[in-house]
Chains A and B, each alone.
Chain A
Amino acid sequence: MKANSLDCHAGEPVPREAPEVTGATARLSRLLRVLTEPASPDRLLDRAMAELPALFAVDVAVVLVPTGQDGLSARAAVGLPGAAAGLLSLADAGEAAAAIDRRAAVVVDAAGPDPAKERLRELGLDAAAWLPLNGSQAVRGVLAVGRRLAPFTEADVEHLTAVADRIGLALEQAQQEAELAQALQGAAAERARAEEQLRTKTAELDRFVYSISHDLKAPLISIEGLAQIIVADYGARLDDEGRDLLERVQVNVTRMERLIRDLLELSRVGREAHASEAVDLAEMVDEFVAETGAALRARAIQVACRETGSLWGARTHVKQVLWHLLRNAVAYMGDQPAPAIEVGARPSGALVECYVRDNGIGIDPRSHDKIFEVFHRLHEVEAEGNGIGLTIARKVVERVGGHLRVESAKGAGTTFRFTWPAGPGGRLP
């Protein structure tokens, strides 16, 4: 292993005498506390390097961390540059590796084996210690310290071990945080990619539905027109059954036309930009009553707007949502003797909470999720519509950032609730 260049603190002379005990203990515990503080590992190491010479009367201290390729390099150092480099080079001799392997301090001094003593003397040191930087999971490196004249006492080694362990934990924590941050960044990028993909796919699907719907319309125009021509030109030559069959063809054309129209509407949600304005709920309900008056009178359905409010958005979008919810309420009224639909809005911060409530046949809670799926229809009643309306309503509400949900039980009527921005900039989070 090559000894990396060492960026040492100034090699100023270190006081030889042992520091005063109580002062030293206080400084040691302060250092240990500092090493648990949340800070960058480099700042913590600088702090430790600054304190170590005075605390332990060491002439040199080096923090060695594993490099990528099975070696060690100096991450921080203090003391005599030559001695520090020497300690680093001594790592090759095995003491550092031994400390890491055993997860325990390795101390060399005048009492030690000859080859080690020899090397120490060459560095101008009389004692050295290698203390593993023990993390909770792995050894994160080695703290190497060297001293002239005095050997390391058991207490010195114990306190140095405590410092090294704190450094080990700090390095470990920093690495784990870095890994976590990287993982989070990766996950965020992955998520952004997935969302982008989903947006692309959804747009593709919308375009697909749109073009299919158009292609379906062409033959439908032919079927309807040709059937009408048969009725006009050959009606007199047909018997009752023939005319009845032709009428049924036309009923099916009408049904399919509505289906295509709704599919087109569904595919358009979110593709067309409209100007936003304040839309009054009560006004929209009046419009609905005026438009569907005949159907409402036929079933004697009362429609009332109890609490009105202003919804901020495109008029078409508000209309789409309300119309589909109201039509749904009409379609699933059942044989309720006093059919009634109530609409309301309540301001709630930047939002309006709206509801459309009916006293119709209600929906089994087990079906609550399914009713928003395309083409889902409840089978209890022969209702008109094709099972796309609620899907459109939900798509529009979600498009402005709101939520649409249902509260209902079988036989207990149904309440649809949705949130909507109350004013400009009120786009929901």
Chain B
Amino acid sequence: VNGTDAVTILLVEDNADHATLTRRALRNGRLLNEVVWVKDGAEALDFLYRRGRFAEPPAPRPGLILLDLRLPKIDGHAVLRQIKADESLRTIPVVMLTTSAQPEDVNGSYGAGANSYITKPVSFPDFIEKISAVQLYWMLTNVPPGSAS
């Protein structure tokens, strides 16, 4: 579909169950994205900077990052700040995906440059709907930087 099958989605999520549900929801959107799942903030940065196990073969540049906030090692806020501070990474859309609806988390994320903020609903049909909407928007509706020429 429109060549989107080449686009990688990086899922940063420490909860294995939530990762299962999110990947399932992403499959539901019928877009053939490759989903790479990493379990903490340090791994996420390794992936983005092609370090460690992501050095060879070099990890692809993701077209979308789904980022949880409460993460081991390096938390989501710090990962987000690093991405948005880096000239080569800042144009990758980052969607925060978390259980927290605390104003300081929401406002802090937008303040640090998050492109979108999603809270995980308990109802699984709602969960699928939200994830699909995010995926469709960022993969199909949104025009990514550098593609308009």
A contact set with B: CB distance below 8 Å = 210, 214, 217-222, 224-229, 253-254, 257, 272
B82 at the interface (CB under 8 A from A): no
- Of all chain A residues, the one with the shortest Cβ separation from B120 is A221
Give CA–CA (A217, B17) in the complex, Å: 13
In the complex, the answer to whether A222 meets B99 with C-beta atoms within 8 Å is: no
Give CA–CA (A222, B15) in the complex, Å: 9
B110 at the interface (CB under 8 A from A): no
Given A224-B123, A225-B124, A253-B122; A218-B18 close (CB under 8 Å):
yes
Q: Mark B127-140, 1 if CB is under 8 A from A, else 0.
A: 10000000000000
Residues in chain A near residue B127, CB distance under 8 A: 221, 225
Residues in chain B near residue A226, CB distance under 8 A: 17, 20-21
CB distance from A348 to the nearest CB of B (A): 35
Q: Using a CB-CB cutoff of 8 Å, which residues 90-149 of chain B contact chain A?
A: 99-100, 102-103, 120-125, 127
In the complex, the answer to whether B15 meets A218 with C-beta atoms within 8 Å is: yes
Q: A-B pairs with CB below 8 Å: how many?
A: 49
Q: Using a CB-CB cutoff of 8 Å, which residues 18-60 of chain B contact chain A?
A: 18, 20-21, 24
Residues in chain A near residue B121, CB distance under 8 A: 221
Residues in chain A near residue B123, CB distance under 8 A: 224, 257
- Of all chain B residues, the one with the shortest Cβ separation from A264 is B101
Give CA–CA (A228, B20) in the complex, Å: 12
CB distance from B86 to the nearest CB of A (A): 30
Given A217-B122, A253-B122; A222-B17 close (CB under 8 Å):
yes
Beyond contacts A219-B17, A221-B21, A225-B127: 17 other A-B pairs, Cβ-Cβ < 8 A, are: A210-B102, A217-B99, A218-B15, A218-B99, A221-B17, A221-B18, A221-B99, A221-B120, A224-B124, A225-B24, A226-B17, A228-B124, A228-B125, A229-B21, A254-B122, A257-B122, A257-B123
Closest 6 CB pairs of A and B: A222-B17, A228-B124, A225-B21, A257-B122, A225-B124, A217-B99
In the complex, the answer to whether A229 meets B24 with C-beta atoms within 8 Å is: yes
CB distance from A417 to the nearest CB of B (A): 33
- Of all chain B residues, the one with the shortest Cβ separation from A260 is B122
Residues in chain B near residue A219, CB distance under 8 A: 17
Residues in chain A near residue B100, CB distance under 8 A: 214
Residues in chain A near residue B24, CB distance under 8 A: 225, 229
Residues in chain A near residue B124, CB distance under 8 A: 224-225, 227-229
Residues in chain B near residue A222, CB distance under 8 A: 15, 17-18, 21
Give CA–CA (A257, B126) in the complex, Å: 14
Can you sample 22 A-B contacts with CB below 8 Å?
A214-B99, A214-B100, A217-B120, A218-B18, A218-B99, A219-B17, A221-B18, A221-B99, A221-B122, A222-B15, A222-B21, A224-B123, A224-B124, A225-B17, A225-B24, A226-B17, A226-B20, A228-B124, A229-B124, A253-B122, A254-B122, A257-B123
CB distance from A256 to the nearest CB of B (A): 8
Residues in chain B near residue A220, CB distance under 8 A: 122
- Of all chain A residues, the one with the shortest Cβ separation from B119 is A217
Give CA–CA (A221, B102) in the complex, Å: 18
Most interface-central of B99, B100, B124, B125 (chain A CB within 10 A)? B124
Given A221-B21, A222-B15; A272-B103 close (CB under 8 Å):
yes
- Of all chain B residues, the one with the shortest Cβ separation from A217 is B99
Give CA–CA (A218, B15) in the complex, Å: 9
Residues in chain A near residue B99, CB distance under 8 A: 214, 217-218, 221
Most interface-central of A210, A219, A225, A229 (chain B CB within 10 A)? A225
Given A214-B99, A217-B99, A272-B103; A224-B20 close (CB under 8 Å):
no
- Of all chain A residues, the one with the shortest Cβ separation from B127 is A225
CB distance from A93 to the nearest CB of B (A): 78
Give CA–CA (A414, B17) in the complex, Å: 46
- Of all chain A residues, the one with the shortest Cβ separation from B100 is A214
Residues in chain A near residue B102, CB distance under 8 A: 210, 214
Residues in chain B near residue A229, CB distance under 8 A: 20-21, 24, 124
Residues in chain A near residue B18, CB distance under 8 A: 218, 221-222, 225
CB distance from B74 to the nearest CB of A (A): 19
CB distance from B29 to the nearest CB of A (A): 16
CB distance from B53 to the nearest CB of A (A): 27
Give CA–CA (A205, B122) in the complex, Å: 24
Residues in chain A near residue B122, CB distance under 8 A: 217, 220-221, 224, 253-254, 257
Give CA–CA (A227, B20) in the complex, Å: 12
- Of all chain A residues, the one with the shortest Cβ separation from B105 is A214
Give CA–CA (A227, B24) in the complex, Å: 13
CB distance from B129 to the nearest CB of A (A): 13
Give CA–CA (A272, B149) in the complex, Å: 46
CB distance from B118 to the nearest CB of A (A): 13
Give CA–CA (A245, B7) in the complex, Å: 40
